[in-house]
Amino acid sequence: MMLKPALPCLHLLNYCAPIANLSLSALHAVAFPADTLYYFFRAKCDGSRLHEFAETFEEHLENAC
Torsion angle, CA of 8/13/17/23, rounded to 10 degrees? -160
9-13, 25-29, 41-45, 46-50: least confident range:
9-13
What's the total number of domains in the chain?
1
Confirm whether 24 is domain-assigned: no
What mean pLDDT do residues 33-47 have? Answer: 91
Residue 64 belongs to domain spanning:
34-65
Confirm whether 2 is domain-assigned: no
pTM above 0.75, yes or no: no
What mean pLDDT is reported for the chain? Answer: 78
Beta carbons of 55 and 37 less than 8 angstroms apart: yes
| 4 band by pLDDT with thresholds 50, 70 and 90 | very low
Confirm whether 50 is domain-assigned: yes
More confident residue, 14 or 41: 41
